[in-house]
Structure 1
Amino acid sequence: MTTLTEHAPSWRPPDRHEWQLAGVVWDVVQAPDHLADRALPRLNDDAVGAVWRDHYKRRMYWMVPSGTAGRWTPLPYIEVHGRGARVEIPPAGLVRGLGPHWVREPEPGRLLTDPEALHESLSMAHRLSYDPWAEERR
């Protein structure tokens, strides 16, 4: 497996809120809070890269390797933004607030989330949200 850091070796968060183009260094997976809050704790720590939240939009965002948008198997309520999409990125160090802020700040070697692990975690979050007995049948 290719390491996730090979895809984005030098990207850094901006100094202020900034709209950036997805699909160049990374793509973005966007999930509503009610699914994201169930999915994030299910991910292994080593599979998670940069994650931010926007309370106004009630969404959480994960950076994934560029090209993921074209290969992502659709999930209800989940959006994947690839080449050409503009995404609002929070500034470095902003970890609180109602607008976009980091849940997990990007760190050297920890920018991108493993897309397969994220897809699996969001799939399970969706099943648990809409089928409360899904966990018992697993």
Structure 2
Amino acid sequence: MMHQLVQSAGPGREPAADMADLADVIRTLLAVEARRDTRVRLGGNLFDVVISSCGEQARAAVAQMDEQQNGCGPVIEDPDTGWLYWLVPPGTCGRWEPHGHAVCLGAPHTITLPSLTRSTPPGPYWLRPSASDRLLPPDPLWRALALFRPEPTPHAALAAQLGLPH
């Protein structure tokens, strides 16, 4: 009888389609918390990323976001590429207006998050640490990057890296 009940339950007894994604997200977050660099997919329920250079002008934009947010949301600096990775809400990529000094990427791209304890080079590190409850607001970030105009722009280098025409 129990077998008949289970069989009659149909699709409801099968794992939800998004459970595999949830498991991946949990494994990723646990790896970052365990102080390992971890590759994550952009978009979904986590975040998209805005990429700019990491020069003096970008530091001025970070300072402005610090002031606006009472402490800037999460930003990763990669001294090897010369880029900043600004973590913004998922779905930002679809709404991001073309920008002369920054590029926004979402799914299906990935990013490697440094360990939560890495706050200095070598390699990518948290210029502004990740807080679970805060991402950067896209509109103020767009305006800050437009105001300070960080150079060099990442467009051509990203296009080449992703195999896109530039």
- Which ranges in structure 1 are unaligned for 5 or more consecutive residues? 1-9, 130-138
Do residues 123 (structure 1) and 143 (structure 2) align?
A: no
Task: Give the match for residue 135 of structure 1.
Answer: none
Task: Give the match for residue 113 of structure 2.
Answer: 89
Task: Give the match for residue 164 of structure 2.
Answer: none
Paired residue secondary structure (2:59): helix
Larger Rg computed on CA atoms: 2
1:33 to 54, 74, 89: 54
Do residues 18 (structure 1) and 38 (structure 2) align?
A: yes
Report if the CA contact (8 A) 1:47-1:114 is conserved: no
What does 1:31-70 correspond to in 2, within 5 Å? 31-34=52-55, 35-43=57-65, 44-46=68-70, 48-70=72-94
Paired residue secondary structure (1:106): coil
Q: Please give the TM-score of this superposition, normalised by the length of structure 1.
A: 0.77
* Greater strand proportion: 1
> 1:64 is aligned with what amino acid?
V
Q: Distance in 1 between matches of 2:133 and 2:144?
A: 22
* Greater helix proportion: 2
Deviation at 1:47, TM superposition (A): 7.0
Deviation at 1:75, TM superposition (A): 1.1
Deviation at 1:21, TM superposition (A): 0.4
Query: Which runs of at least 4 in structure 1 moved beyond 4 Å after TM superposition?
Result: 10-13
Q: Distance in 2 between matches of 1:109 and 1:39?
A: 21
User: Root-mean-square deviation (CA), in Å?
Assistant: 2.3
- Which ranges in structure 2 are unaligned for 5 or more consecutive residues? 1-25, 152-166
Equivalent pairs counted in the alignment come to 119
Paired residue secondary structure (1:60): strand
Do residues 80 (structure 1) and 101 (structure 2) align?
A: no
Deviation at 1:48, TM superposition (A): 2.7
State the identity %.
Answer: 26
